[in-house]
A and B are shown apart, each in its own frame.
Chain A
């Protein structure tokens, strides 16, 4: 496997609340022989501000991101929505070589594994019934999987990585790619709708016998986990990096 120089971007909420997801991502990339560096002065990609309409206030954060990440072959992050934000919405910055490079080389973890490293058998054992939550920006923005609205060949990069795990059962859902209702600050400015959408998503997984909900975005899972814990449900959430890192490589 070719060795790349990777800048690891750990989004703010993962850094603060879910360090185990960052650790799993780092360990997995290292096991795959990559040279991973974590630029210590990184903060956030600016998405929460911009999605709330305050793109202008996010510019300084964008610049900080570019400063920290301009010197790598690839920037890899365990978050579909952050990767999408950098690629799609850093168009408001002046398109210097550094900005262009950062936008082109930022990858969500799963697509980095399947598209750049071209691995799909990570020799995992995960004997559980798993429901894949397709987070919207990963799905429709990064095209990590085919979207149910489009008439196209069906595929899923997440499933491709999970499928070969020993003992795993990937569960079919009633609504394969409906939004969980997190939506950044949508979750606090439309709290009732956001919670209802989350509850409906969880019911779908429960109804179909899922034990573990996984996704390429911890933000969706944070929202779902918040509801699961409040309602004292059995079902669990686990970021896909944690599953992929539980291997015997």
Chain B
């Protein structure tokens, strides 16, 4: 069994919980559908967003340099990191330079990707995640299971228990308002004491050199406003050329992510506050490699809305942790193998190729087609199991010639008709664990047709 299939089996072993997970995310998908349908030009917006991103990717170097120039003019320090190690090192340097003790961070998948928290932790520096979901999983020592809803795998009772342990809320309390209040109280103290704020970046506008961060809790603002030093971390693909393009993306992002018309806070950061410092760290970490690959470069258009996760019938029933990569779900399954083909070879196969992800995607990434392409590439590179490759080779032989095909077809039909049930349903028959095989009628269509022609 592949790692994903194994973890999916575990996830499904608690069926009521799996159903709850599926239903919760399906509700998000339905909200998204209603919101999208209320915008008559929805498909047109997707097309425009996709084209803008394609334009950006086709001359990324130019836009990045323009962005840097403008940001520097605004008094921002721009730093470049080629990989995760360099990124972590840069952040550590900034912390040391400013002798920061209390660091708050709003949501950033990039820092997850680079393992920043662990890196700093091992050097005795604690970062407080201020997004509620992120804080919950940080308390529990877990990783996010979703890129927008990081604690979606947890029930409110479990969160109540964690808060009881970490924040001293009443034992057994699970009322969301009560718990959220407690978290707010706790985070407020952290914000007030913060001397450095880290954020992710949703969009970086090349013409103005400013960055845009979208949150629902205002936690990016709280951190940035309270702390003298602000650090914004972005992947190289976050660029949009002009301020006027932002509207297209912000209209798509929140609607597609959570079914809101717009995120509660859309914060634009352009220059350091008086007496403060502002940094923007631009990270490659493998992205420029995909950029050179025409088959997969479109995955860089992703604006991390999480829509493809909410719609994915596999994700909803296997949970984000079943993927074993920092970004789960359909988009994660095409990003992960670019990082490590061997380790993530199973992910492009963890899909029924239903294509719902591509239809949902606000920037029209052909996710399911890239999954298909990855399957070919990984098989060619012999990253899939020998048994699978061998059986496909054999099947290819039998399916390519009429006589051979008729011969094995005959055997299969004979086996189903005459073999005893216990032999047919040996454990090796994965199909038969929860399903009957089709019954085999006496004549195949071909045989029936042969007789018909004769008569």
A247–B286 Cα gap in the complex (Å)? 60
Interface window among B96-104, B134-142, B431-439: B431-439
Tell me if A15 and B311 are in contact (CB < 8 A): no
Interface window among A104-112, A125-133, A159-167, A184-192: A184-192
Give the Cβ gap from A70 to chain B, nearest Cβ, in Å: 16
Give the Cβ gap from B375 to chain A, nearest Cβ, in Å: 3
Residues of A with C-beta under 8 A to B53: none
Is B292's CB within 8 Å of the partner chain A?
no
Tell me if B445 and A191 are in contact (CB < 8 A): no
Is B309's CB within 8 Å of the partner chain A?
no
Tell me if A16 and B412 are in contact (CB < 8 A): yes
Residue of B nearest to A229 (CB): B436
Residues of B with C-beta under 8 A to A152: 43
Residue of A nearest to B404 (CB): A43
Is A90's CB within 8 Å of the partner chain B?
no
Tell me if A192 and B9 are in contact (CB < 8 A): yes
Tell me if B434 and A195 are in contact (CB < 8 A): yes
Residue of B nearest to A10 (CB): B445
Residues of A with C-beta under 8 A to B15: 196
Tell me if B5 and A53 are in contact (CB < 8 A): no
Give the Cβ gap from A17 to chain B, nearest Cβ, in Å: 4
Is B349's CB within 8 Å of the partner chain A?
yes
Tell me if B380 and A56 are in contact (CB < 8 A): yes
Which residues of B come within 8 Å of A, CB atoms? 2, 4-5, 8-9, 12, 15, 18, 22, 26, 33, 36-37, 39-40, 42-43, 311, 313-314, 317-318, 348-356, 358-360, 372, 375-376, 378-380, 384, 388-389, 392-393, 395-397, 399-402, 405, 409, 412-413, 416, 430-431, 433-441, 443-446, 448-450
Tell me if B409 and A12 are in contact (CB < 8 A): yes
Pick from A54, A61, A63, A227: contact of B379, CB below 8 A. Answer: A54
Residues of B with C-beta under 8 A to A40: 402, 446, 449-450
Pick from B33, B352, B399, B437: contact of A149, CB below 8 A. Answer: B33
Pick from A16, A20, A43, A194: contact of B352, CB below 8 A. Answer: A194
Give the Cβ gap from A91 to chain B, nearest Cβ, in Å: 11
Residues of B with C-beta under 8 A to A150: 43, 359
- Given A17-B439, A43-B401, A189-B2, CB of A52 within 8 Å of CB of B444: no
Q: How large is the interface on A (under 10, 10 to 19, 20 to 34, 35 or more residues)?
A: 35 or more
Tell me if A49 and B436 are in contact (CB < 8 A): no
Residues of A with C-beta under 8 A to B317: 193, 196-197, 200
Tell me if A43 and B445 are in contact (CB < 8 A): no
Residues of B with C-beta under 8 A to A52: 349, 375, 379, 388, 392
| 21 A-B pairs whose Cβ atoms sit less than 8 Å apart in the complex | A17-B440, A19-B443, A20-B441, A23-B445, A43-B402, A54-B379, A54-B389, A60-B401, A136-B352, A149-B360, A178-B356, A182-B352, A186-B349, A189-B2, A189-B349, A190-B4, A190-B314, A192-B434, A195-B435, A226-B438, A230-B435
